[in-house]
Chain A
Amino acid sequence: DTAVSQTPKYLVTQMGNDKSIKCEQNLGHDTMYWYKQDSKKFLKIMFSYNNKELIINETVPNRFSPKSPDKAHLNLHINSLELGDSAVYFCASTLSSRGRRGYTFGSGTRLTVV
C-alpha cells in the first residue's frame, strides 16, 4: 500500500564499495526525484526524471548514476563510495501537472559509509 517505497531503509558500507538504492511509486506519477539530506538537515535535489527521461541533474559527482527503467521506478547507483556520501537519500514523485497533494516522499534511506 506504500505510495513511494525505498529499499533499503538503512545501508552501512565501506569506502570504495558500490551500492544501489531502489525506489518505486504506485501513484501513477510521471516524475520522480532523488534528494539528499545531509547531517545538518539540508535537503538538496540531485536528479529528476520525467517519463524515464532525465530532466534535472544538479551538480552531482558522476559516481552517482540514476536509472529509470519505467516511470514507476527510479534507482540510484553509487560507485566508489566516499565518507561524504553518508546522508539520508529521499526519493519523491509527482505528477508534472502537479496535483493538489504536491510531491510524495519515500521514507528515506540512511546511508552510512565507514
Chain B
Amino acid sequence: AQKVTQAQTEISVVEKEDVTLDCVYETRDTTYYLFWYKQPPSGELVFLIRRNSFDEQNEISGRYSWNFQKSTSSFNFTITASQVVDSAVYFCALSEEAAGNKLTFGGGTRVLVKP
C-alpha cells in the first residue's frame, strides 16, 4: 500500500529565510511518481513538480528546489529566500502504476512566512 508522510504540520519563518519541507513515502512499486502541490489561501491546488522513480536528479526552479533520495524514500522541498506569497499549505503526493494512478497525498505542511 502506498503512503506519504509529511511530519511537519506547520512551519513559521520570517521573510528571506529558507524553509525545507520533508516528505517520506512508502511504496512496493518500482515505477511510481512523486509530486508537490501548493494550496494557497484561495484554495486551489497548484502543481509544482512531478518526478518519476527512475530520475533521482535534483531539480531547481527559481527559488524552489527538490531533493529526491530513493535510499531514504524521501522527496524534500526547499524554498529559498521565502516570501510572504509562499504562505500556503504544501502537499507531497505519490502515484503508483499498480494502484490505478491514484494520487495519495501526505497530510500537508502549512508554511507561514511573516514579513
Residues on A close to B: CB < 8 A?
31, 33, 35, 40-45, 48, 55-56, 88, 90, 92, 94, 96, 98, 100-105, 107-108, 110
Alpha-carbon separation in the docked complex, A48 to B96 (Å): 14
**Which listed residue, B37, B50, B102, touches A45 by the CB 8 Å rule?**
B102
Those 6 A-B pairs whose CB atoms lie nearest each other, nearest first: A105-B45, A43-B105, A102-B50, A45-B102, A107-B44, A56-B100
Whether A44 and B105, one on each chain, are in contact in the complex, defined by CB atoms closer than 8 angstroms, is yes
Knowing A48-B100, A56-B100, A102-B50, the reply to whether A88 touches B35 (Cβ < 8 A) is: no
Whether B101 and A88, one on each chain, are in contact in the complex, defined by CB atoms closer than 8 angstroms, is no
Whether B107 and A98, one on each chain, are in contact in the complex, defined by CB atoms closer than 8 angstroms, is no
Alpha-carbon separation in the docked complex, A16 to B83 (Å): 45
Whether B44 and A103, one on each chain, are in contact in the complex, defined by CB atoms closer than 8 angstroms, is no
Residues on B close to A: CB < 8 A?
33, 35, 37, 39, 43-45, 47, 50, 89, 91, 95, 100-105, 107-108, 110
Can you give 19 A-B contacts (C-beta < 8 A)?
A35-B103, A41-B39, A41-B89, A41-B107, A42-B105, A42-B108, A43-B105, A43-B108, A56-B100, A88-B43, A90-B45, A92-B103, A94-B101, A100-B50, A101-B47, A102-B35, A102-B50, A103-B95, A105-B37
Q: Is the interface of B mostly helix, strand, loop or mixed?
A: strand
Alpha-carbon separation in the docked complex, A103 to B44 (Å): 13
Q: Residue of A at shortest CB range from B97?
A: A98
